[in-house]
Amino acid sequence: MIEFRDPSPWTGRSDPEDGDLALRMHHLAGRADAPVALIGFACDAGVRRNKGNPGAAEGPAAIRASLANLAAPGDPRGFHDAGDLTLTGEDPGPGQQALAEHLAPLLARYGRALVLGGGHETAWGSWQGLRRALPGARIGIVNIDAHLDIRAIGPAGPSSGTPFHQIREADPEGFDYAVLGLAEEGNTEALRSRARDWGVAIIEDHALQITADAGFAVIDAISARNDAIYLTIDLDVLPAAQAPGVSAPAARGMPLHVVEALVARVLASGKVRLADIVELCPPRDQNDRTARTAALIARRLLTAS
Ligand SMILES: N=CN[C@@H](CCC(=O)O)C(=O)O
Ligand SMILES: [Mn+2]
Ligand SMILES: [Mn+2]
């Protein structure tokens, strides 16, 4: 069953004694000049099907809670919170379609949309929404993730492990996919070999331990040859110490400062129309550490021009 929930009012700490510049993210929600829209996809049907640890359906609420009290940047503009799609049941398909239907008009109205997942099945809804909003556009996909998520669709049906396989099936000619932060040990040779056959650009986590430099050429190239970029960030790319609250924590992972530098480089292309942050699993989090990490990235995606 799919339920659409209007956004709850944003609340948080206010410091009026410090004047007009003491703004936090919760103050930016709903401002009239908002160039960016936010929508939650409260779903973990894909993770369940992918034999993972459920809990991603609680992701949007946890990210919003950690985001609310972060300080706003200087000279901030607002963002529009479009609410949450909540999905119950075993099949993520109807929820992914509903996400696409909600996203397309948001993308027509706002310069950028941010989706808070959900497992990585979020991506199949996200991409379809962008495709509807931009028919005929060349869409490049930048996935910051330990995993390829190009599994073949098994008897159980599509899952959080299959979204980029589904996208390629829908648009084989236009499929242009880069994965940054891949953990070799987290992807079988069947998947790595499929990625090679499909021409997926991959930068492994080993190359992204100290700086993000190894990822910049891939980002610049995919940005240059596409009209729009869909940026998808799977929190399990981070080390388990930084992001314990995911279905599949990474023993190695890559550091947050590298993820932030990669995100900044993708944003610098000026072509990011759609982004999502996926795989937060609040029941497995520790003192909101992963939610707070996700909130830092969300703040950047909501406020970057
Ligand atoms: N979206 C997650 N994808 C990973 C999960 C791996 C795991 O659960 O260990 C995948 O299917 O490869
Ligand atoms: Mn993933
Ligand atoms: Mn992953």
What local confidence, expressed as pLDDT, does residue 76 receive? Answer: 87
User: What's the ipTM?
Assistant: 0.98
Residue 305 has pLDDT above 90, yes or no: no
Ligand 1 atom at shortest distance from the alpha carbon of 121: 1
pLDDT (mean) for 173-202: 98
DSSP assignment string, the chain: -EEEEPPPPP-----GGG-TT--BHHHHBT-TT--EEEEEEE--HHHHHTT----GGGHHHHHHHHHHTSBPPSS---EEEEEEEEE-SS--HHHHHHHHHHHHHHHHHSSEEEEEESSTTHHHHHHHHHHHHSTT--EEEEEESS----PPP-TT---TT-HHHHHHHH-TTT--EEEEEE-GGGS-HHHHHHHHHTT-EEEEGGGGSS-SHHHHHHHHHHHHT-SEEEEEEEGGGSBTTT--SBSS-BSS---HHHHHHHHHHHHHTT-EEEEEEE-B-GGG-STTHHHHHHHHHHHHHHH--
Q: Is 145 annotated as a binding residue?
A: yes
- Find out whether the beta carbon of 50 lies less than 6 Å from any atom of ligand 1: yes
pLDDT (mean) for 111-132: 98
Residue 215 has pLDDT above 90, yes or no: yes
Give tens-digit pLDDT for 236-282: 999 999 999 999 999 999 999 999 999 999 999 999 999 999 999 99
- Find out whether the beta carbon of 46 lies less than 6 Å from any atom of ligand 1: no
What local confidence, expressed as pLDDT, does residue 75 receive? Answer: 86
Share of the chain above pLDDT 90, in %: 98
Band (286; pLDDT cuts 50, 70, 90): very high
Band (71; pLDDT cuts 50, 70, 90): very high
What local confidence, expressed as pLDDT, does residue 74 receive? Answer: 94
pLDDT (mean) for 191-206: 98
Q: Is 102 annotated as a binding residue?
A: no
Ligand 1 atom at shortest distance from the alpha carbon of 234: 1
Distance CA 127, CA 275 (A): 10
Residue 298 has pLDDT above 90, yes or no: yes
Place of tokens 């942050």: 277
pLDDT (mean) for 166-188: 98
What local confidence, expressed as pLDDT, does residue 32 receive? Answer: 83
Which bound ligand lies closest to the C-alpha atom of 121? 1
CATH 3.40.50.980 fits 2-303, yes or no: no
Residue 33 has pLDDT above 90, yes or no: no
Query: Mean pLDDT, the chain, as a whole number?
Result: 97
- Find out whether the beta carbon of 160 lies less than 6 Å from any atom of ligand 1: yes
- Find out whether the beta carbon of 120 lies less than 6 Å from any atom of ligand 1: yes
Ligand 1 centroid to residue 146 C-alpha, Å = 9
Ligand 1 atom at shortest distance from the alpha carbon of 187: 12
**What residue owns the CA closest to ligand 1's atom 3?**
161
pTM, to two decimals? 0.98
What local confidence, expressed as pLDDT, does residue 23 receive? Answer: 97
What local confidence, expressed as pLDDT, does residue 141 receive? Answer: 99
Cis status of the peptide bond prior to 19, with omega within 30 of 0: no
